[in-house]
């Protein structure tokens, strides 16, 4: 059976390759930044390395310049002194040769002698022993220059020749460092040229090659660079070792603190020596021991407190039942009483109902504190849950002259929830809206998306002040302590509602503004146990958001009362079914 043909690889365009390279470069840069931010040892070693490199470079440049100046000055002094002596010798030598060439050896007629410049150049070169070469120009006769060795006469710069021709008694010698060229295969090299005017006719230039000095200087330079690099690496190693002695105890202290924060109260640090780090470890261990004792005491106190609340709540049920039976008898026969007794029977009935409600809430809170609360999950249609909660609140709404406006989707909104607890959350939200809505309309909105369902209860009452959107879920908290509860609330309803929402893995959030009312939003995952990443409904009412946007105001970002939201926050999108917005 023939093997299936391999699918040819799709060739990437240059733009795709460039984008891939940029992405990899950004990821690498991000990893390097994270390592740099997290590693104290790396930062210290890098700083030491950079500073030591700067110091070594400065010192190296200073030493190189000093060595070069010393070598160059010594060569210059020696060359000028030797040139000055040679110029005196050459002056007498050229004078004798010139006299012989003019009168002849016997004083009667000139003889066929060689050019004096050529003879003088050769004589001076023989005296040098190879240390220098000589270039002589006869200014009275064009083309009569002579050179010893293989130096190119054009290597003598014109500026130096002009200075020599214009020299006077105060400045008879001129010198300059130039690059000398040679006739033949020899490579150009730096040289010191010392020039002088002799006998008013001859320009004598002594050329001292500096090749050996340059080689010595380069060898010293390489030695300094190598020693500097070794010194920098040695300093980096020393800094790493010294930093390690400090970083490791700090790192161990951080790890111990993390384990202590995770609940491992028995975590302690090993104490070595008597230095500052040892005293830090001792202080840390003492702090951990004290913290463990305090936490243990608080746990015992909390346990006793929870047990007390639970026991008292249970113990109160028996006498409350008896009192309830007697109160029911009195309430049923109140028509036979005088008006004051009948009124007392009605008040006792109302307060007993409130007391029973508070007792039930205390028992529920004690279950949450003890971690004994569980969910009875069933797939339900959230529309039915909302309708049942609204039906339970209609009697109270009629007494307060409040009307409900329901905004429910046309299709079922299924979710796996504990319907009893969710109904209790919605009843508490509706009772709270009736209590603070000042008789105005209450809007109940149900929304859903692929992952979550949400119910928003909006009132148009007194609203919330800045910072109260989280405090409203605290136990027995009141926005205005002087304001009495008109519907007999216990002060635990919203706290229990928050616990119920957290038990479902959801959010219960509040928004409010003075004069604009408030809105509470319950967001639950559609599948039990799934993470909740967003809400189908906005926390701020759309009409308020549009009005603030139109006025040029910026809506503040509110922290959710429970749960966690991603850094970007909810992203609002339209939802035709819910008649509002989606957020994910």
Q: What is the mean pLDDT of residues 373-394?
A: 88
Instruction: Quote the pTM value.
Output: 0.45
Own/partner contacts of 357-362, CB < 8 Å, gap of 24 or more, are 357/488, 357/490, 358/490, 358/492, 359/313, 359/316, 359/317, 359/320, 361/490, 361/492, 361/493, 361/496, 362/309, 362/313, 362/492
Is residue 559 over pLDDT 60?
A: no
pLDDT value of position 577? 35
pLDDT value of position 18? 82
Q: What is the mean pLDDT of residues 233-243?
A: 82
CA 137/CA 127 separation, integer angstroms: 19
Name the H helices within 14-165: 14-38, 40-103, 116-128, 158-165
Is residue 116 over pLDDT 80?
A: no
Domains 268-373 and 375-551 share a fold: no
Give residue 387's pLDDT band: very low, low, confident or very high (50, 70, 90). Answer: very high
CA 519 to chain centre: 37
Q: What is the mean pLDDT of residues 13-23?
A: 82
Give residue 514's pLDDT band: very low, low, confident or very high (50, 70, 90). Answer: confident
Q: What is the per-residue pLDDT across 519-548, written as a single tens digit (0 to 9) for each?
A: 999 999 998 888 888 899 998 888 887 776
Is residue 453 over pLDDT 50?
A: yes
Biggest CA-to-CA distance, the chain: 180
pLDDT value of position 571? 30
CA 206/CA 121 separation, integer angstroms: 10
Phi-psi label, residue 42: left if phi above 0, alpha if psi -120 to 50, beta otherwise: alpha
For the domain covering 268-373, report its CATH number: 1.10.287
DSSP summary character for residue 38: H
Share of the chain above pLDDT 70, in %: 78
CA 149 to chain centre: 69
pLDDT value of position 426? 92
Is residue 475 over pLDDT 80?
A: no
List C-alpha distances in Å: 550 to 413, 512, 543, 544, 547: 33, 19, 10, 10, 5
Is residue 411 over pLDDT 70?
A: yes
Phi-psi label, residue 206: left if phi above 0, alpha if psi -120 to 50, beta otherwise: beta
Is residue 41 over pLDDT 50?
A: yes
Is residue 376 over pLDDT 60?
A: yes
CA 208/CA 187 separation, integer angstroms: 15
pLDDT value of position 573? 33
Break the chain into its structural domains and give their ranges.
Answer: 268-373, 375-551
Is residue 582 over pLDDT 80?
A: no
In contact, 519 and 539? CB cutoff 8 Å: yes
Q: What is the mean pLDDT of residues 301-324?
A: 74
Give residue 313's pLDDT band: very low, low, confident or very high (50, 70, 90). Answer: low
Give residue 397's pLDDT band: very low, low, confident or very high (50, 70, 90). Answer: confident
Give residue 550's pLDDT band: very low, low, confident or very high (50, 70, 90). Answer: low
Give residue 382's pLDDT band: very low, low, confident or very high (50, 70, 90). Answer: very high
| β-bridge mates for residue 457, sequence order | 444, 520
163: exposed, middle or buried (C-beta count within 10 Å: 0-12, 13-18, 19+)?
middle
For the domain covering 375-551, report its CATH number: 3.30.565.10
Is residue 63 over pLDDT 60?
A: yes
pLDDT value of position 496? 83
């Amino acid at each position: 059976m023939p093997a299936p043909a391999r699918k040819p690889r799709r060739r990437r365009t240059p733009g795709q390759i460039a984008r891939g390279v940029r992405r990899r470069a950004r990821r690498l840069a991000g990893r390097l930044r994270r390592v740099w931010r997290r590693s104290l040892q790396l930062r210290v070693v890098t700083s030491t390395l950079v500073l030591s490199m700067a110091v070594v470079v400065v010192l190296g440049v200073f030493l190189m310049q000093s060595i070069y100046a010393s070598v160059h000055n010594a060569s210059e002094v020696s060359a000028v002194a030797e040139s000055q002596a040679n110029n005196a010798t050459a002056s007498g030598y050229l004078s004798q040769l010139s006299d012989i060439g003019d009168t002849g050896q016997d004083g009667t007629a000139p003889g066929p002698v060689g050019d004096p410049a050529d003879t003088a150049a050769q004589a001076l070169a023989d005296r040098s022993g190879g240390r220098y070469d000589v270039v002589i120009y006869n200014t009275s006769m064009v083309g009569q220059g002579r050179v010893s060795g293989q130096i190119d006469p054009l290597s003598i710069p014109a500026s130096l020749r002009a200075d020599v021709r214009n020299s006077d008694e105060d400045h008879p010698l001129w010198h300059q460092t130039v690059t000398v060229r040679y006739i033949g295969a020899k490579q150009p090299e730096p040289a010191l040229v010392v020039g002088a005017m002799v006998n008013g006719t001859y320009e004598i230039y002594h050329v001292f090659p500096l090749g050996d000095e340059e080689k010595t200087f380069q060898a010293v330079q390489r030695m300094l660079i190598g020693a500097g690099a070794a010194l920098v690496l040695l300093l980096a190693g020393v800094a790493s070792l010294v930093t390690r002695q400090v970083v490791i105890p700090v790192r161990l202290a951080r790890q111990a603190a993390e384990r202590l924060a995770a609940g491992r109260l028995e975590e302690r640090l090993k104490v070595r020596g008597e230095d500052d780090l040892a005293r830090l470890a001792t202080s840390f261990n003492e702090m951990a021991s004290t913290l463990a004792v305090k936490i243990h005491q608080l746990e015992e106190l909390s346990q006793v407190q929870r047990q007390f609340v639970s026991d008292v709540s249970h113990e109160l049920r028996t006498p409350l039942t008896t009192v309830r039976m007697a109160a029911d008898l009195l309430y049923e026969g109140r028509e036979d009483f005088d008006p004051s007794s009948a009124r007392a029977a009605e008040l006792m009935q109302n307060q007993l109902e409130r007391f029973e409600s508070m007792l039930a809430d205390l028992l529920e809170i004690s279950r949450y504190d003890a971690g004994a609360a569980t969910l009875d999950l069933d797939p339900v249609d959230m529309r039915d849950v909302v309708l049942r909660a609204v039906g339970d609140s209609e009697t109270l709404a009629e007494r307060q002259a409040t009307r409900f406006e329901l905004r429910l989707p046309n299709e079922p909104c299924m979710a796996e929830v504990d319907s009893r607890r969710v109904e209790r959350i919605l009843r508490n939200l509706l009772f709270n809206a009736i209590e603070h809505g000042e008789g105005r309309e209450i809007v109940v909105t149900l929304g859903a998306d692929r992952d979550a369902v949400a119910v928003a209860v909006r009132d148009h009452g007194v609203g919330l002040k800045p910072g109260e959107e989280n405090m409203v879920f605290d136990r027995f908290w009141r926005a205005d302590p002087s304001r009495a509860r008109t519907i007999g609330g216990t002060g635990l309803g919203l706290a229990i509602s928050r616990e119920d929402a957290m038990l479902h893995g959801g959010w219960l959030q509040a928004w409010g503004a003075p004069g604009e009312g408030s809105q509470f939003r319950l967001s639950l995952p559609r599948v039990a146990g799934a993470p909740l990443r967003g809400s189908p409904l906005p926390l701020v009412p759309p009409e308020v958001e549009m009005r603030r946007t139109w006025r040029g105001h910026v809506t503040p970002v509110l922290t959710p009362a429970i749960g966690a939201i991603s850094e970007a926050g909810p992203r609002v999108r339209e939802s035709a079914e819910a008649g509002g917005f989606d957020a994910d």
